[in-house]
Chain A
Amino acid sequence: MKRFDFVDVTLRDAHQCLWSTRMTTAMMTPILGEIDRAGYAYINILGGAVFDVCVRYLHENPWERVRLLCERLKTPCDALTRGQSLYTFELFPDDIVALNAQLLARLGVKVFTVYDALNDNRNLESSIKAGREAGMEINGWMTYTLSPVHTDAYYVERTKELLALGVDFLCVKDPTGLLTPERGATLFPAVVQAAGKIPVQLHSHCQSGLAPRVYEAAMKSGFRFGYTASEPLANGASLPATEEVNEIACRLGFETSMDREILKTIAGYFRWLCIREEKPCGQVAQYDAALYEHQIPGGMISNLRYQLETMKLAHRLPEILQEVARVRQDLGYPIVVSPFAQYMVTQATLNVVQGERYKTIPDEVRKYAMGYYGRLAARPSDEFLERAKIRPDDMVSERPGEHIEAWIPRLRAELGASAGDGDLLLAAFYDRTLLEPLKQAAPAYRFRTTPLHELVSWLGTRRDIEYAHIRFAGTEMTFSA
């Protein structure tokens, strides 16, 4: 019997998409035991946004979260980095990339997942080498997008590159939910065939509402794993629900390991957490044809609308979205993900507001076009190159990491011999002032909870309630202030 297995994203991408990445470690720990026993093959615990939000907004040390989750979970943990950019959008030198992989392995990460926002797999070389040397399995992602150059053949080429780099898993990542079952019917078998013995995974979001059908197409084509989330944190901008995809797999005759009863408890906890924390649950999205034109994720459109409102330009949003599509073509079809999505949106806004295309070009956009972040999917248009004053000899062709001097000797000298690898890396990524709040002690975590416990704690947080009496089945309780 053929198997289909699941990778949990509830602790990572699900809340990144639905809660702006604001799930704290304290919200995760009470349900870790159940997630661990639910039957997932892997649990994804880290990604760029999680790392960054931990530092900037939650004031948690991200290394401590990784250590704790890896310690508590018997299921192997998966950590995702953006290749040479790691957790941010800046490119880091090879020595920082290597130290990061060593530290993650030491903290207990078993699968090291890497991708590059341009699908320039040279940006994964240093991560993959260091990750393997540190003893982790390597999972290489390639990012799906729609454009005349991102053909099935293009993805077969990327597959071959990843195989040559020696990955243990391969994944098609669809950050904006653009995949359709029809495209999957040609793309998926091509990738599976090129991948040979290497198992293939699917990581697709639900903006178009089609993801469950796309997962079905992937299973039929021989994909071995799917990334999914607990039902309350699935759908919408998030990934599909484990529950739903598991039912699809079972109906198609695949053997899976998911335990429906435990999934129900996990879903109950997260549905409660949405209420307690006043955060949204995922809603199943309606099919949206416009998504396939501008390709901008919903979260980014609402952010852009907000930015335009502050500039009193909200009425020009439709024009700007149209211009984004033209800018994307001029720039050689970058994938609409961070940071390139921001580059295109800002360039389009400048073009529309100034009433003249490319009168002002952000420095980052020029650097992108010259190849400083990696190889472009297609050559930028002549109009753009001319306005940007980029000549053929301005273009760079080496691997981007080659341009960057080693940092560790300097950081070691600055921080002193007593600084640990985690501190050294944080100092490489962030200003010192941002790191100050991380020194506060972590709260005492609870590692189990019950609905009754949650109800009592919630009542305890309500200052307005002076008396409460609860009775159910054989239990009776009274609280009074």
Chain B
Amino acid sequence: MAERDLTYEDIVQIVDLIKSASHFSEFRLKVGDIEVSLRRADRTPSAPAAVQRSFEPAATADPARQAPSRAFSDAAHLVRSPMVGTFYGAPAPGEPPFVEVGQSVEPDSIVCIIEVMKLMNSIEAGTRGVVREILVSNGAGVEYGEVLMVIEPGKP
């Protein structure tokens, strides 16, 4: 057989065979004019070479939030998250928050942003009143329907 160069097709085949024989400590291959011999270092105990994949632990709920800290009147309006997302209390990092506790709001006042699938959703107060409580901290993950703020009718 005429001399030739090793081709990419050859090495794709060789490497494929080496990979599929990964649990043996010795490997010998002779195909046509190609011969490959390999020996693996002793591995204690024959642990599979597969990389153990680690998964991020599921985000655990922050016990400090979830429920309003005290009872509010029946007229209180709860601002809820429209979706699973991230809560932002200010329009941009370093800027003052949209609202603070004790502040009056109109129905169309923007009270926070919920980031959903990388898009920003400006959340309106939905009622006229005073912000009595903000239950979520900036940058926190929120669930669908989670209470973000409590707004009560009346004056500050």
Interfacial residues, chain A to chain B (CB-CB below 8 A) = 265, 268-269, 271-272, 275-276, 307, 310-311, 342-343, 345-346, 349-350, 353-354, 359-365, 450-452, 454-455, 458-459, 463-474, 481
Contact = CB atoms under 8 A, between A and B. Distances in A.
Given A275-B16, A363-B122, A451 B116 contact: no
B12 A272 contact: yes
B135 interface: no
B70 interface: no
A466 B22 CA distance: 13
A350 to B, nearest CB: 6
A432 to B, nearest CB: 13
Most chain A Cβ neighbours within 10 Å, of B11, B15, B22, B39: B11
Nearest to B8: A268
Given A469-B35, A471-B36, 20 more contacts: A265-B8, A268-B9, A268-B12, A271-B9, A346-B119, A349-B83, A354-B82, A354-B83, A360-B123, A362-B116, A362-B119, A450-B6, A452-B6, A454-B8, A458-B11, A464-B49, A466-B41, A468-B37, A470-B37, A472-B34
17 contacts: A271-B12, A272-B8, A275-B15, A307-B117, A310-B84, A311-B83, A311-B144, A342-B119, A346-B117, A346-B118, A452-B5, A454-B8, A465-B38, A466-B41, A471-B35, A471-B36, A473-B5
A353 B38 CA distance: 57
Contact of A451 (B5, B33, B40, B82): B5
B53 interface: no
A268 B15 contact: no
A454 B83 CA distance: 50
Contact of A343 (B1, B9, B119): B119
A243 B120 CA distance: 45
Contacts of B3: 473-474
Nearest to A459: B38
A343 B117 CA distance: 9
B7 interface: yes
Nearest to A311: B84
Nearest to A270: B8
B33 A272 contact: no
Interface string B16-44: 10000010000000000111111111010
A455 B6 contact: yes
Interface in B104-156: 113, 116-123, 144
Given A359-B82, A470-B35, A471-B35, A450 B5 contact: yes
Interface residues of B, number: 39
A471 B34 contact: yes
A349 to B, nearest CB: 7
B10 to A, nearest CB: 6
A472 B120 contact: no
A362 B120 contact: yes
A363 B12 CA distance: 50
Interface of B: 1, 3-12, 14-16, 22, 33-41, 43, 49, 82-84, 113, 116-123, 144
Contacts of B12: 268, 271-272, 275
B6 A472 contact: yes
A331 to B, nearest CB: 13
A349 B122 CA distance: 16
A469 B36 contact: yes
Most chain A Cβ neighbours within 10 Å, of B4, B37, B119: B119
A133 to B, nearest CB: 35
Given A361-B121, A363-B120, A469 B8 contact: no
B143 to A, nearest CB: 9
B7 A473 contact: no
A265 B6 CA distance: 12
B36 A468 contact: yes
B41 A481 contact: yes
Nearest to A361: B121
B15 A451 contact: no
Contacts of B120: 362-364
